[in-house]
Amino acid sequence: MPENTSDNIAELFFDSPVSGDMPALITREGDRAKTITRSEFEKLVTEFASGLAVLGVERQEPVAILCENRPEWIIADLAIAATGAVSVPVYTTLGADDLRFILEDSGATTLIVQERLLEKLKEVRKALPLLTRIITVGGTEGAQDSLSFEKVLSLGKEELGRAPFRRGAVKRDDIFSIVYSSGTTGRPRGVMLSHGNVISNIEAIKDAIDVDRTDRYLSYLPLSHIFERTTHHFLIHMGCPICYARGFSFVGADMEFFRPTFMIGVPFVFERMKRKVEDSIERLPVARRFILKKAIEWARTGGILKALAAPVVASVRRKVAPTIRFFVSGGAPLSPATAEFFFSLGIPVLEGYGLTETSPVVSVNTLKAWRIGTVGRPLKGVEVRIAEDGEVLVRGASVMKGYFNLPELTAQTIREGWLHTGDRGYIDEQGFLVITGRKKDIIITSAGKNITPQKIENLLREDPYIKDAILYGDQKPHLVALVIPDTERLESLCKELGIEKGVPDCLGNKRLYSFFEKRIRERLRGLSRFEQIHRFALIADDLSCERGELTPTMKLKREAIARRYSSLIDSLY
């Protein structure tokens, strides 16, 4: 596909030379697939854009979307772009306080909301006088003085040709979206991304990721996340059909139903998939279990051992992801052990790196050039350099216009054209970028030792019995940790150890503590003395987005968790 000259995201969509009868968006209804063709997709976007214009939506006016992944989400996004308005995606998992803040801070006048989420809006509606239009998805007329999605389509169809369709007047430098980043600290910050920012990132991704119309993609990460959303616009431009999973818990079954050729995800997803495979192997008879484990081990080598292992490994792959060519991982560091596991099955997990502020992809491993433990080489047109203090700096056309209503923070973050990411890292001898942690997350003990917690936390997450770990120790004599056991393994483990109490009452048991203490010491055996965990506490697997302890992409919010468990952390000293 040749380099495009589109001025905006809507033009990128309408000008793509994709056949009208090709499948574009596919959903599942029971055991049947429902397909929207490319020509139907274009018609829906045109009518909804016209409908928004009929309702009075103006250029650069903020329109918020609070909805789960489904065709209406991306139809609305493209229609908003076509009218020249600004989309404001909102995570469905946010609590009422953050929802109110985003709608208020952005000045959203229109909200496109899934009907089942209207209850969440009720809590904050009175505090939002600017919010005058509600459009419901999957709902009926009249709920909270709303219009249905279908009614807006109908209005647009009636007025097509008379309502202003402004996509030709929208320029690359116009704001496409205000994306409130799900940072691990503080309030969400509105990142202003222009049409040109996202288009430049799509062009660079085309040069790195090998997909075409014969591929099929399964969507399950929230479209509110710029990683999923830019991927959508990239795939729509390339003519690759997008299939919608029914929800995170259905991803496995929907993979089997839709048979995608590639997917993107956050490390949590791939770690969960790896554990399920390992659990299924553990339940096999001794001889078969030994053969499978040995085959996966040999597959990581080369030569004759890999050849001998190939038929056995192929049988595992057929059960895990028979049609997948590759995965792409982003949003947080991927454990090398997880990457190696999938590599041994013949399924590359291409780890990348990016930020909301960079639209988002900065670098990514590719099928032609990849190294486990790195986040790949920078994309074409994206410059990366490392500051003297180890901070990763980024410059290029995909770097944001700035933070909405926060000019001082914008000036602090973008200096002399370079975006200061807040991440630390280095570029290896082959040009691959390695991220070592967040600058603000560095723990400095009272002895003056600088410790990167992510490195230690990732080592612990590689243990099949440990789902997550959160380290603390800033200005303290040594490290302590909160450890979240893998819930699926915990019940059987308690039975093996003769512990009668169930989950979560068993977490204070001394035998259980000793079991985890031994495993933690084994995992951290090669680290320095000051990087060892002196004491830890086992906690329940109940961290949530609603309480602000997790981001919508399952990243831990260290400070929020510390507030909840402050007494417990203090007791470890």
Q: Give the model confidence (pLDDT) of 31-69 as tens digits.
A: 999 999 999 999 999 999 999 999 999 999 999 999 999
Q: Give the model confidence (pLDDT) of 363-400 as tens digits.
A: 999 999 999 999 999 999 999 999 999 999 999 999 99
Alpha-carbon distance of 165 to 167, in angstroms, equals: 6
Mean pLDDT of 75-90: 97
- pLDDT for res 542: 87
DSSP class of residue 557? -
Mean pLDDT of 206-212: 93
- Assign residue 284 a region: left if phi > 0, alpha if psi is -120 to 50, beta otherwise? beta
Q: Does the pLDDT of residue 269 top 70, yes or no?
A: yes
Q: Say how many Å lie between the first and final Cα of the chain, rounded.
A: 60
Contact 465, 516 (CB under 8 A): yes
- pLDDT for res 559: 87
Which value, to the nearest 10 degrees, does the dihedral of the CA atoms of residues 94, 97, 98, 101 take?
150
- Three-class SS of residue 41? helix
For the ranges 82-96, 181-195, 231-245, which has the lowest average pLDDT?
Answer: 181-195
Q: Give the model confidence (pLDDT) of 249-268 as tens digits.
A: 899 899 999 999 999 998 88
Q: Band the pLDDT of 163: cuts 50, 70, 90.
A: low
Instruction: Please provide the DSSP assignment of 484-517 as one string.
Output: EE-HHHHHHHHHHTT--S-TTGGGG-HHHHHHHH
CA 506 to each of CA 491, 503, 569: distance values in angstroms, whole numbers, following the listed order: 9, 6, 19
Q: Give the model confidence (pLDDT) of 132-162 as tens digits.
A: 999 999 876 656 578 999 999 999 999 887 6
User: pLDDT exceeding 90 applies to what percent of the chain?
Assistant: 66
Alpha-carbon distance of 365 to 372, in angstroms, equals: 9
Q: Does the pLDDT of residue 457 top 60, yes or no?
A: yes
Between 168 and 144, the higher pLDDT residue: 168
Distance of CA 559 to the CA centre of its chain: 21
Alpha-carbon distance of 549 to 185, in angstroms, equals: 10
Q: Does the pLDDT of residue 18 top 90, yes or no?
A: no
Alpha-carbon distance of 320 to 517, in angstroms, equals: 32
Burial 117-144 (b: 16+ CB within 10 A, else e): bbebbeebbeebeebebbbbbbbeeeee
Closest C-alpha among 177, 155, 207 to residue 10: 177
DSSP class of residue 144? T
Residue type, 75: I
Between 213 and 503, the higher pLDDT residue: 213
Q: Band the pLDDT of 27: cuts 50, 70, 90.
A: very high
The encoded tokens of residue 74 equal 């991306």
DSSP class of residue 67? -
Alpha-carbon distance of 463 to 310, in angstroms, equals: 26
Alpha-carbon distance of 547 to 549, in angstroms, equals: 6
- Cα angle value 555/559/562 (rounded, 5°): 105
Instruction: Please provide the DSSP assignment of 359-372 as one string.
Output: SSEEEE--SSS--T
- pLDDT for res 296: 86
Contact 8, 173 (CB under 8 A): no
Q: Band the pLDDT of 301: cuts 50, 70, 90.
A: confident
Between 439 and 152, the higher pLDDT residue: 152
User: pLDDT exceeding 70 applies to what percent of the chain?
Assistant: 96
Q: Does the pLDDT of residue 2 top 70, yes or no?
A: no
Q: What is the mean pLDDT of the chain?
A: 91
Q: Does the pLDDT of residue 281 top 80, yes or no?
A: yes
β-pair partners for 391? 424
Question: Taking the model in full, what pTM does it have?
Answer: 0.86
Q: Give the model confidence (pLDDT) of 221-256 as tens digits.
A: 999 999 999 999 999 999 999 999 998 889 989 999
- pLDDT for res 452: 85
Longest Cα pair distance anywhere in the chain, in angstroms? 75
Between 36 and 96, the higher pLDDT residue: 36
CA 333 to each of CA 67, 168, 171, 461, 555: distance values in angstroms, whole numbers, following the listed order: 27, 40, 35, 11, 10
Contact 372, 341 (CB under 8 A): no
For the ranges 86-90, 297-301, 312-316, which has the lowest average pLDDT?
Answer: 297-301
